[in-house]
Chains A and B, each alone.
Chain A
């Protein structure tokens, strides 16, 4: 009855999304070894690598990349687990979801700009604490943003990744049913936070590997946050690569491709090291757990992490508030805590300058988020009709690959099809990254729906189409809305893919905000970044308020 049939959803994803990613990797790898006939690289050679290694400050670049990647990921994971350990059951409440919503939906670039408004020498934090606490009458003369050690960049990443890992963890918690284990551990004499960290966290961790690796890969290779918050000496590896790709001298494409390829190697090696670290932690952890100490120290560590986590969430929200305030600020001299005069002129100016980018941003988000949702539903539905084979992991590959390592190659592919620079090309590039997140968001609740609903409907005479449209989709309404909202926010956040697929000719709120972030016009940047954050946040809140999602599967 069931033979081999081509699965349209899978075929589409493999051809339209998977193929180009692999081709993009290959077409970046070739120039990394000197081969790119279009600009005169006719023979494979190692010159690009020699140029990369000879770049002054290369060692510092590598060090910065690794420090930022590992520090941001470790901290975000620690803070997320600390917060969950300390908040217990409250984390599952709806209020918490609403608290996280703005932090999750805000694009990285907007968060970075908001954070810069907070922590810059002339930023809100210094204004609020000067002169009474700091004694400063003018902005202090040291770097709190773009610092050479990358601390501001690490902080920025933590502000975005902590809520991300939190929401992933909350979702995973529902599938492991660890409440009983937690109660057992408490009855054995563990304090609350230690009980959670020792018994729940390890189980939770194994369900979160993919998002954690994605966080690591992202933190190692972030471009948009790096531009706003990271140092310019040294540059991180992705930014070095981007600078070369964007250089007027086309020969720089070769070392740029080498740097992009090295970025891929670094990400893969880092995930490998992380896995090695997991094995170590698990070996030592298990033997430590058997020693039977009741966790005073673990409890204290958890409490500290939870406290810091709370600070991170508060800083994230304050960064968004800073964007809002600056977008309406007119005269605001240091060290006043609030603007002396307010204005809506910034918005009027923004409305004129940002009309086209805003329209394109909305168009791209609508196109990529809805395309990704349709494909995801087609994929999950065809899985249902095939008796639910185990989930495919390869679709999450784009989340684990540094964007820079294949976007140049993907651009070459687009140039070959003459699509580069068009909105279509950018929408497609966005969908590459939107689709995995849409699936990540939708898959769990889709598969959690009791399959007997469909059987019951079929036994009542409903066709497969009617079951999909009248039973499954309505029951999954909220899950679909959330997946769509996540798609919108991923599309809004796209920077590098817009840059490459758009060939610099397509501008969005994100590219505008980042292009102007380093300039002096805080008010205009605030308007662009605030819009960039506000729209996805509103869509996400709408999704959270959408009517009921699925009932959990009845067992």
Chain B
């Protein structure tokens, strides 16, 4: 597996006449997660939405998103192969744990048994073997977070965006899960962009820190 690389060039996001940021360029390598920090409303989450292709009105954006050398800026979010974790796990409540992961699995993995085996293996990787048929609502917060991570990774992304996914976990769990996310991303050689309020997150990420919204 080759190391992936995410390149943001001249990103600019505005709401109406207000410019949140402009001329933001940075490069994210698989080994060095980039942390984005800044007060609420500084455009942190909007930046992630822009990279992932989810940005809609009232935001306006400019700039390019280059993934592994290819310009993905004009692609729909589902065609970018950029995974995303949110503050909430957002497991689909109408699907079982296994079905949540299978939702993300490549359609070219064919056959019920084969798909199930892949999902079971993925769940096993995060210590949730045997959880396939469980209802997400019956899991603990930490278990749900791990399912959400595995669901994102099973989609075989080429980059990972983290929108404060640790914020709602309690202290002990938070440290473990953070480590777990970074280890998994590193194992797959994924560039990671992390948005957070917590300096400890940035420290754990160990890469560059971008601060938004402190110049005005």
Contacts and interface: CB of A to CB of B under 8 A. Distances in A.
A422 B205 CA distance: 69
Given A386-B57, A475-B93, A470 B88 contact: no
Q: Which of A386, A452, A462, A471 gathers most chain B CB within 10 Å?
A: A452
Given A452-B88, A474-B95, A554-B88, 11 more contacts: A387-B56, A452-B90, A455-B49, A456-B84, A458-B52, A458-B76, A459-B52, A459-B82, A459-B83, A459-B157, A461-B79
Interface in B15-42: none
Interface string A468-499: 00110011010000000000000000000000
Given A386-B56, A554-B88, A460 B103 contact: yes
Contacts of A6: none
Nearest to B154: A460
Q: Which of A456, A457, A459, A550 gathers most chain B CB within 10 Å?
A: A459
B152 A453 contact: no
Interface string A441-465: 0000000001011011111111110
Q: Which of B81, B82, B104, B161 gathers most chain A CB within 10 Å?
A: B104
19 contacts: A386-B57, A387-B57, A450-B90, A452-B90, A453-B90, A453-B92, A455-B52, A455-B84, A457-B103, A458-B77, A459-B77, A459-B84, A460-B78, A461-B79, A461-B81, A474-B94, A475-B94, A550-B93, A554-B90
Given A471-B92, A548-B93, A2 B56 contact: yes
Given A455-B77, A462-B78, A548 B155 contact: no
A50 interface: no
A456 B90 contact: yes
Interface of B: 49, 52-54, 56-58, 74, 76-79, 81-84, 86, 88, 90, 92-95, 103-104, 151-152, 155, 157, 161
> A-B pairs with the 9 shortest C-beta distances?
A387-B56, A387-B57, A459-B84, A458-B77, A460-B104, A460-B155, A456-B90, A474-B94, A554-B88
A462 to B, nearest CB: 6
B92 A475 contact: yes
Interface string A250-291: 000000000000000000000000000000000000000000
Contacts of A450: 88, 90
Interface residues of A, number: 28
A403 B76 CA distance: 45
Interface string A1-32: 11000000000000000000000000000000
B39 to A, nearest CB: 18
A459 B78 CA distance: 5
Contacts of B53: 458
Nearest to A456: B90
A453 to B, nearest CB: 6
Contact of A459 (B92, B93, B95, B155): B155
Nearest to B137: A551
Given A386-B56, A387-B58, A455-B84, A461 B155 contact: yes
A458 B54 contact: yes
Nearest to B79: A461
A464 B76 CA distance: 9
Contacts of A456: 84, 86, 90
Q: Which of A1, A387, A460 gathers most chain B CB within 10 Å?
A: A460
Interface string A178-203: 00000000000000000000000000
Contacts of B78: 458-464
A475 B93 CA distance: 7
Q: Which of B88, B94, B157 gathers most chain A CB within 10 Å?
A: B94
A462 B79 CA distance: 8
Contacts of A452: 86, 88, 90
A216 to B, nearest CB: 35
Contact of B152 (A459, A475, A547): A459
